[in-house]
Amino acid sequence: MAKPNVISKDVLIQYAKECLVNNGIEKFTLRSVAEMAGVTQGTIYYHFRTKEQLLLAIVQNVCENSWTEISEQNEQLFLSQAIESAKSRCSYDSFFHKLFFTLVASSFNNEKIRNPLSDIVTEENSSLISNLSGLWGKSPIEGVTLETWGILINAIVDGIALQALLQKDFPVERTYQEVEQLFKAFSKLKDMGINK
């Protein structure tokens, strides 16, 4: 029996995530989410007019939860926690990155997807910049702003995820260990004042 229309948007997003993981993006429909949540399709349409809106809400939710969790760590743990969070979503079967890159590809011809994705990426960059500011204070390399560091780190994480999606035997553990070492080295440069 269908539940009344009192189900929240956040609860529907959780059911949508579960549906996406179980069925894959190819078989993901608003109807399948409604069935999993035990609500009518009208309830889904009340909160999300299109499948794309719901998929974007999933990406936004995952990103917000991740950055909230990372931001709650103290500055000393930020780097390790951020690396661990990125690594946890990085695999050959990563539902999050399959979804993210599918939406990116769709956005090239659809401004209704492109604009919200742009906002999500901008929010991620801002979170990185804020956390880097707390960690480093200023850039460890003169002439490279914290804004550029945020963009660069975001691009590195997405680039690693893309390679992991394409290569079944991609060395995720080793790659992220070395990325963490790279950023720790930049932090040491800043601490030693060798950035000039």
pLDDT digits (tens, 9 = 90+) for 159-195: 999 999 999 999 999 999 999 998 888 777 666 655 4
Select from 188, 185, 75, 196 the least CA-distant residue to 144: 196
- Please report which residue ranges of 110-145 form alpha helices under DSSP H: 111-136
Report CA dihedral (37, 20, 82, 53) to the nearest 10 degrees: -80
Taking the C-alpha atoms of residue 162 and residue 157, their distance in angstroms, rounded to an integer, is 9
Structure tokens at 110: 């659809």
Joined together, the tokens standing for residue 22 give: 């179980």
Q: What band does 1 get if pLDDT is binned at 50, 70 and 90?
A: very low
Average pLDDT of span 141-157? 93
Return d(Cα 175, Cα 171) in angstroms, integer: 6
Q: 1: exposed, middle or buried (C-beta count within 10 Å: 0-12, 13-18, 19+)?
A: exposed
What's the rounded Cα separation, in Å, for the pair 46 and 40? 10
Q: Write down the residue that tokens 């003169």 correspond to.
A: 142
pLDDT tens digit sequence for 85-119: 889 889 999 888 999 999 999 999 999 999 999 99
Q: Band the pLDDT of 26: cuts 50, 70, 90.
A: confident
Please give the radius of gyration of the chain, using alpha carbons only, rounded to the nearest integer: 19
pTM of the model: 0.82
Would you tell me which CATH number, out of the four given (1.10.357, 1.10.10, 3.60.21, 3.40.1350), belongs to the domain 1-49?
A: 1.10.10
Is residue 38 very low, low, confident or very high in pLDDT (cuts 50, 70, 90)? very high
The one-letter amino acid code at 62 reads V
**For 51-192, CATH number?**
1.10.357.10
Kindly tell me if the per-residue pLDDT of 121 is higher than 90.
yes
pLDDT of residue 196: 46
pLDDT over 90 (residue 16): yes
What pLDDT digit, counting tens, does each position of 58-77 carry? 999 988 888 777 767 666 67
The predicted structure's pLDDT at residue 74:
64
Q: Boundaries of CATH 1.10.357.10 in the chain?
A: 51-192
Q: CATH 1.10.10 occupies which residues in the chain?
A: 1-49
Best CA proximity match to 31, nearest among 22, 21, 43, 18: 43
